A and B are shown apart, each in its own frame.
Chain A
Amino acid sequence: MAAPAKSSPRDAQVMAAVLKDMGVLDYEPRLINQMLEFTYRYITDILDDAKVYSTHANKKNLDTDDVKLAIQCKMDHSFTTPPPRDLLMEIARHKNSQQLPLIKPYSLPRLPPDRYCLSAPNYRLRTLKKSRIQIGLPQFSSGSPRISIAPMQSKGSSSSSHSLTVVSKAQPTVTIISKPAAATIPKPTIRVNTGMTKVLPNTSGQIITTRPIPTSTLSTIGQQGALGGQPVIPGVNPLKRKLEDDDYDK
């Protein structure tokens, strides 16, 4: 396309000259505007960042070092380049050393495990609220359940089929938590199961069975103090507003 008219602003003429220098001769006129916008946004971002770094270093004015640092940070974030060749060769060597997996016959459709597919429903039915009664006191015994926390996401359908299992060696006493006892279940949910049984997902919405949690092994979960009273659910602050009781089965 033709170069911009002589009456166009100087910036546009400069941009046209830059494009010509780089060998781009054929372009739509709108391209100059796009390039100028990009340039303006990029420069202001860099200079803003540089100002921040400069004030952080208690300098009076902007320095080339500040600008260099700002550019470097920007490059690492937005303008990433593909990995270097030696890293790619290393990854390739690793992957290619494994044999091609055999194909099982009569196993249509051939898809990855469900959690990697997009075939799960991306919605969840709302269930009726059930009141729960606490039976007995929780027993604290030795044993070390390993708890893994998998946040339940209502939107991400790919993870909706996460199920949480915890292997536990202690006795199978079951405690059912009652709703008024502030045992509200926040997000993320932790369901603790016995070693053998797994809570099966049930569409009509559920009772959550929990295991007593020995405090000795849960050092990361804050010492909430009231250990004698009710089972401590990690992440629950009794002072927090009670969240609505949703069932997160599935």
Chain B
Amino acid sequence: MADPPSMEDAKVDISEKQTLLAVLQFLKKHNLKETETLLKKEAKVSDEEFKTEDSGPTASEVSHALAAYKSDDDPSIYEDLYTDIKAFIDSCLDVHKVELATILYPVFVHMYLELVYNDHEQLAKNFFGKFSLDQEEYYREDLMKLSTVYKKEHMAGNQLMDNFKSSKFVIRMSRDSYTHLKRHLQEKQLSRLLNIIQEHLFIDVFDGIPRNKQQIDASSGGLLGESDREANKVKVYYGLLKEPDLNIPLEEDEDNTEGEGDKPKKKKPKKDPLLMKKSKNDPNAPSNTRIPLPELKDMDKIEKINAFREAMKRVKVDREHMPSVCFYTLLNSCQGVTCIEVSEDSSLISVGFNDSFIRVWSITPDKLRSLKSPTELEIIDKEADDVLERMMDERSATEIKTLCGHNGPVYSVSFSPDKHNLVSASADGTIRLWSLQTWTNLVCYKGHNYPVWDVKFSPHGHYFVSCGHDRTARLWSTDHYQPLRVFAGHLSDVDSIQFHPNSNYVATGSSDKMVRLWDVQNGNCVRVMSGHKGAVHCLSFSPDGRTLASSGVDQVVILWELASGTMLAQMKGHTDTVYCLCFSRDGGVLSSGGLDNTVRIWDIKKIYEELDSDSDANIPSTLHVNDSPNLLITTYKTKSTPVLLLHFTRRNLLLGSGAFSIT
């Protein structure tokens, strides 16, 4: 019989207590009862401190990965460990304190989960109650969801749990803080804590000065921490595609009499610098053949010429010249409106409803016509110039058309750029393609088996993307009944999706509070941007393709730079969820609208002016996020209408739309 080591009973350090209890448990397991009782007597460990363990995973539905939570240690040490690490952090230098405090949340979560897994329900509840309020405000929602898991059986089906156990929580830390932490853990031999940190946390160490609280808060909030810097290293071709050479005849009422092609040499007063860049080869632009795009037909060329002409008459919009807003309010909709969308040339508005209908209105004096019947179509002269008008049946001209076919609420609609087609996404898991010439349903795309939250047509036509509850986004083309690309990587529902102006990239915003940028050509995720503290409901690319604006439940509009994947600015001001964003046609101003019944205009030009030139994406502490309150130019209030759509017309008039709500 081995002599138990003698110990001072008064001051027993945590680690020694740990060892002692481990020894006791070992003895118990191997039925060395006499040794056990002797040791207990000598070490004066009371029986209630020593709790028995449930050994071995029992139910088969608990997966292997969860077994990582199994521990033989005494559960009461968790509270002590946590308090200890908190005390250590408080004792550090101020510079390190904020950075090290970021590990408290994941450590807390994993400790709690270990307690639950090992069936210490009451202890787990105590632990949760004691320390959950210490956590950051933006983790509040996740913690609430976590608090519903307090039995081992709950762990099996919970999605949040799956995320926590399968992926590592990412934290960025400067090298100094990291070495400090490591040294403390190794000195004190807190093996349990070290285990947790090594298994469940991924600490992205960078060389540089530690970040301050503001910088840390800016980029944290994601479900699994911040984004890994490695994820944002791929080159992104954010430039615009080279425009084809079009012979654009100038209007007769212009002063200048000559003009050749699309590169007029004379300077016009309202010349847009964007239109001038066509001749130069942008190194950041993808080649026109990087992804197959449909060729331009005559009708498209005419449309482009029209667009160019309209752009010449564009009104300047900036801090001194605020945009005018034309707002379309839907009355008497009985709260059934789920989405509103307008065509690119601002002539058609389409609204999706809870009762599965889609209604299309014309907001120009032109009415909506449908195609003639086949017998009539045979008679018309196909060589005539206005054959496209003759195709349409005058008798069917109405201002509103209804499209029915879906099996559930329609959550999103999108017009094709040539206005011939409309795609709609619904809770029934299908995406439908409608023809706006015959006003019938052409195709039903089944792929998502769960509600589809958003769908968007590509600005060049032919492709559309959708995203839904199944955590994926898919790229489809109108002539394939199955998706061409599947963008998987989000941890939770994908709520919003948007095409880049060059159609080569797709941005998605999700309920896991991350914004991801995907490459259409190979389906890879090229950027992961963290910083939102709530689900991301709307995304908008700037017209020059360099930046992306996003917003959602957390009411903050964030501007990201695509080249580096870093946050440029945080625009605070909204008091409720933001549902729509739109840049002005020249990119100088951003409009946002949401549930707080307001439309706010933000100054983007100012952000570019105040950009810090020596910020380096590799050293997060040099990044400065602009969140001055001066970025807000103005606020427009509606009476009681949440804003669901914002759209700058080609002449920079701001269109808005929403459904009047009584409450």
Residues of A bordering B, CB below 8 Å? 22-23, 75, 81-85, 88-89, 91-92, 95-96, 98, 100-103, 105, 109-113, 116-119
**In the complex, what distance in Å separates the CA atom of A96 from the CA atom of B485?**
5
Question: Do A110 and B486 touch (CB < 8 A)?
Answer: no
Contacts of B449 in A (CB 8 A): 82
Smallest CB gap from B443: residue in A? A117
**In the complex, what distance in Å separates the CA atom of A128 from the CA atom of B127?**
81
Contacts of B157 in A (CB 8 A): 75, 81
Question: Do B489 and A83 touch (CB < 8 A)?
Answer: no
**In the complex, what distance in Å separates the CA atom of A109 from the CA atom of B159?**
42
Smallest beta-carbon distance A152→chain B, Å: 20
Q: A88-B471, A105-B295 are in contact. Are A95 and B485 (CB under 8 A)?
A: yes
Ranked nearest first, the 10 interchain pairs of A and B with the lowest CB-CB distance are A96-B523, A88-B488, A116-B481, A92-B488, A82-B470, A110-B479, A92-B486, A112-B481, A95-B486, A23-B144
Give 1 or 0 for each of B415-440: 1 = CB within 8 Å of chain A CB.
00000000000000000010100001
**Partner among A81, A96, A101 whose Cβ is within 8 Å of the Cβ of B480:** A101
Whether a CB of chain A sits under 8 angstroms from the CB of B478 is yes
Q: Which positions 406-462 of chain B face chain A at CB distance < 8 Å?
A: 433, 435, 440-444, 449-450, 462
Whether a CB of chain A sits under 8 angstroms from the CB of B477 is yes
Interface size class of B (residues with CB under 8 A): 35 or more
Contacts of A88 in B (CB 8 A): 470-472, 486, 488
Whether a CB of chain A sits under 8 angstroms from the CB of B166 is yes
Can you give 15 contacting A-B residue pairs, CB < 8 Å?
A22-B144, A23-B144, A88-B470, A91-B486, A98-B484, A100-B291, A100-B484, A100-B520, A101-B292, A105-B295, A109-B442, A110-B294, A111-B433, A111-B478, A112-B443
Contacts of B481 in A (CB 8 A): 112-113, 116
**In the complex, what distance in Å separates the CA atom of A75 from the CA atom of B148?**
18
Contacts of B479 in A (CB 8 A): 110-112
Smallest beta-carbon distance B286→chain A, Å: 13
Smallest beta-carbon distance A130→chain B, Å: 29
Smallest CB gap from B486: residue in A? A92
**In the complex, what distance in Å separates the CA atom of A6 from the CA atom of B211?**
52
**In the complex, what distance in Å separates the CA atom of A109 from the CA atom of B292?**
17
Question: Do A110 and B462 touch (CB < 8 A)?
Answer: yes
Question: Do A110 and B295 touch (CB < 8 A)?
Answer: no
**In the complex, what distance in Å separates the CA atom of A38 from the CA atom of B462?**
43
Q: Which positions 507-524 of chain B face chain A at CB distance < 8 Å?
A: 520-524
Residue pairs across A and B with CB atoms within 8 Å: the count is 95
Question: Do B470 and A22 touch (CB < 8 A)?
Answer: no
Contacts of B435 in A (CB 8 A): 109
**In the complex, what distance in Å separates the CA atom of A100 from the CA atom of B166?**
32
Smallest beta-carbon distance B227→chain A, Å: 17
**In the complex, what distance in Å separates the CA atom of A89 from the CA atom of B443?**
27
Contacts of B450 in A (CB 8 A): 82
Question: Do A85 and B293 touch (CB < 8 A)?
Answer: no
Contacts of B487 in A (CB 8 A): 92
Question: Do B442 and A96 touch (CB < 8 A)?
Answer: no
**Partner among B471, B483, B520 whose Cβ is within 8 Å of the Cβ of A95:** B483
Question: Do B470 and A83 touch (CB < 8 A)?
Answer: yes
Contacts of B148 in A (CB 8 A): 22
Whether a CB of chain A sits under 8 angstroms from the CB of B491 is yes
Contacts of A92 in B (CB 8 A): 472, 485-489, 523
Contacts of A89 in B (CB 8 A): 488-489
**In the complex, what distance in Å separates the CA atom of A50 from the CA atom of B522?**
49
Contacts of B524 in A (CB 8 A): 96
Contacts of B159 in A (CB 8 A): 81
**In the complex, what distance in Å separates the CA atom of A116 from the CA atom of B443?**
7
Smallest CB gap from A88: residue in B? B488
Q: Which positions 278-306 of chain B face chain A at CB distance < 8 Å?
A: 291-295
Contacts of B294 in A (CB 8 A): 103, 105, 110
Question: Do A119 and B485 touch (CB < 8 A)?
Answer: no
Q: Which positions 284-335 of chain B face chain A at CB distance < 8 Å?
A: 291-295
Contacts of B521 in A (CB 8 A): 100
**In the complex, what distance in Å separates the CA atom of A18 from the CA atom of B394?**
59
Contacts of B162 in A (CB 8 A): 84-85
**In the complex, what distance in Å separates the CA atom of A102 from the CA atom of B491?**
32
Question: Do A85 and B166 touch (CB < 8 A)?
Answer: yes
Specify which of A22, A23, A112, A117 lies most central, judged by the most chain B CB atoms within 10 Å of its CB: A112
Q: A85-B162, A103-B462 are in contact. Are A112 and B470 (CB under 8 A)?
A: no
**Other A-B pairs, 8, CB within 8 Å; known A111-B479, A116-B481:** A82-B471, A88-B486, A96-B522, A100-B520, A100-B521, A109-B442, A117-B442, A117-B443
Whether a CB of chain A sits under 8 angstroms from the CB of B469 is yes
Question: Do A96 and B486 touch (CB < 8 A)?
Answer: yes
Contacts of A113 in B (CB 8 A): 481
Smallest beta-carbon distance A26→chain B, Å: 11
Smallest beta-carbon distance B417→chain A, Å: 14
Smallest CB gap from B524: residue in A? A96
**In the complex, what distance in Å separates the CA atom of A22 from the CA atom of B143?**
11
Give 1 or 0 for each of B104-133: 1 = CB within 8 Å of chain A CB.
000000000000000000000000000000
Contacts of B470 in A (CB 8 A): 82-83, 88
Smallest CB gap from A107: residue in B? B479
Contacts of B485 in A (CB 8 A): 92, 95-96, 100
**In the complex, what distance in Å separates the CA atom of A190 from the CA atom of B437?**
38
